[in-house]
Structure 1
Amino acid sequence: MRKLIYGMNLSLDGYIAAPGDDIGWGVPSDELFQWWLDQELAIGLLMYGRKLWEVMSSHWPTGDQQPDATAAQIEFARNWRDTPKVVFSSTIDKVDWNTRLVTGEPVAEITRLKADDGEPMRVGGATLAGAAMRAGLVDEYEIVTHPVLVGGGTPFFTALDSWVNLNLVETRTFPGGVVLTRYQTRR
C-alpha cells in the first residue's frame, strides 16, 4: 500500500492562501526550497485539485527555462514534468505534462491508487486533501508554517467527522522563522 502525504506551506493562523488566493507571503528560502525538492523527488504520484493544478501548471512546465532559475528550481521543474500527476476537477477538460484528469468522485480513485504498490503519493489543494482526510486516507502531514497571520483565506485543515490522532516525527526550523512539523497518522 502506498503512503499518502498532505503537505503545504501555511500561515501561522492556518491558511494555505490569503483572501484572493494570495500566496505571496509563502516565498521559500533557498534552504526550504531545497527541502521541498528533496520531498518531491521521493514522490511517485502527485494529486491536485483544480486550483493548485492551475498554480503549478502555470509555472513549472517551463520553470527550468527561466533566466534566474536556480539549480534547485531547474531540478524541481524537471521532476515536476516527469512525475505522474492526477488532477481532480469537474470544471476543466484538458491537462498536460504527464497528467491524467479525473472528473468523478475523488475518494474512490485515491483509495484505488493508494492500494497499489509504489512510491508515496502527495495530495495537494485544500478541498481535495480535505476529502482524503475525512476518508481517513492521509498517512502523513508536512506542515510548513510561515510566521505571518493572513486573517482568512483557504484553510489547510477542513472540518473532520472525527478526531485524527497523530505522532510527531520531525521538527525543523528554516531561515526567516519558518517551522516544519511533520506528523504521521496514528492507526
Structure 2
Amino acid sequence: MENKNYVFIAKSLDGYIADINGGIDWLENTVPNPEGKDLGYVDFIHKIDAIIMGRTTFEKVLSFNIPWPYHLPVFVASHTLKKIPVGYTEHVELVKGAPNEIVTQLNKQGYHKLYIDGGNTVQGFLKEDLIDEMILTTLPILIGGGTPLFSELPNPMLFNHVKSEVFLNAITQDTYTRKR
C-alpha cells in the first residue's frame, strides 16, 4: 500500500493559520456560511487512516468544549506533553520523535494515509520532505500576524498545482502534490 501524508488547512491571505493570540475565530467570521458547507473536508477525511497533530492543535481542539470530533485514530506529536488528559486516552495516543520516525512507526501499524495538522507539525514534516499533498484553503482576510503556515526550509520544494475551487464566492481552495 502506498504511504501518503496530507495537509488540509485554512489560512489567511497573508499566510497565517492563527492570529497573534492563537485565535482562530476569523476562520468562522470572515465569510458567512449559513448552510454549513464543509468546504471539501468530508471527502478529504474519508481517504485518511489517521491524524497526526501537534500539541497546540490538540489543546485548541480541547478548548472548543465539544464532544471529541474525530472518528479516526489521532496521534499527538509533542516533545513537552507528558500524557493525554483523562477522558481522551481512548481517542488519542501520544507519539514522540522526529517526523520521519513517527511516520515509520505509524506506517508499520497499518496507517498509510496520514493527515498532518497544526502549524509547527506541518512545518516539521515539510522540513523533512514528508508532505505529499497539500489542500490549502485561503480566506479573504489579512490578519497581520500570528502563526504562519510556512517557515524556513533547508531547500526549495516544488509542487504541482492540481486544482482550484471557490467556495461561497469568496474562499479559494488549492490542491498541490509534491513534485518528486
- Give the TM-score taking structure 1 as reference length: 0.82
Shift of the 22–179 alpha-carbon distance from structure 1 to 2, 3 Å rule, reads same
**Tell me, which stretches of 5 or more residues in structure 1 are unaligned?**
64-76
Shift of the 12–46 alpha-carbon distance from structure 1 to 2, 3 Å rule, reads same
Counterpart for residue 39 of structure 1: 44
The answer as to 2:77 corresponding to 1:88 is yes
Q: Would you say how many aligned residue pairs link Structure 1 and Structure 2?
A: 170
- Please point out which of 47, 50, 56 is paired with 1:51: 56
* Structure richer in helix, relative to its length: 1
User: Percent sequence identity over matched residues?
Assistant: 27
Secondary structure of 2:62's counterpart equals helix
Structure 1 residue 53, shift from structure 2 partner: 0.7
Q: Root-mean-square deviation (CA), in Å?
A: 2.1
Distance 2:81 2:127 in 1: 24
Distance 1:3 1:84 in 2: 16
Instruction: After superposition, give the CA deviation of every residue in 1:125-158 in whole Å (9 maximum; x if it has no partner).
Output: 1111111101111000110000000111111111
Structure 1 residue 55, shift from structure 2 partner: 1.5
1:173 corresponds to which letter in structure 2?
Answer: V
Counterpart for residue 11 of structure 2: 10
Shift of the 128–145 alpha-carbon distance from structure 1 to 2, 3 Å rule, reads same
**Tell me, which stretches of 5 or more residues in structure 2 are unaligned?**
none
Shift of the 147–94 alpha-carbon distance from structure 1 to 2, 3 Å rule, reads same
Distance 1:135 1:60 in 2: 34
Shift of the 115–129 alpha-carbon distance from structure 1 to 2, 3 Å rule, reads farther
Shift of the 128–39 alpha-carbon distance from structure 1 to 2, 3 Å rule, reads same
Distance 1:132 1:110 in 2: 10
- Give the TM-score taking structure 2 as reference length: 0.85
Distance 2:97 2:56 in 1: 16
Distance 1:111 1:155 in 2: 27
Secondary structure of 1:51's counterpart equals helix
Structure 1 residue 94, shift from structure 2 partner: 2.4
Secondary structure of 2:153's counterpart equals coil
Secondary structure of 1:122's counterpart equals strand
Q: Do the aligned residues in 2 keep the contact of 1:4 with 1:114 (CA within 8 Å)? A: no
Shift of the 111–162 alpha-carbon distance from structure 1 to 2, 3 Å rule, reads farther
Shift of the 121–182 alpha-carbon distance from structure 1 to 2, 3 Å rule, reads same
Secondary structure of 2:97's counterpart equals coil
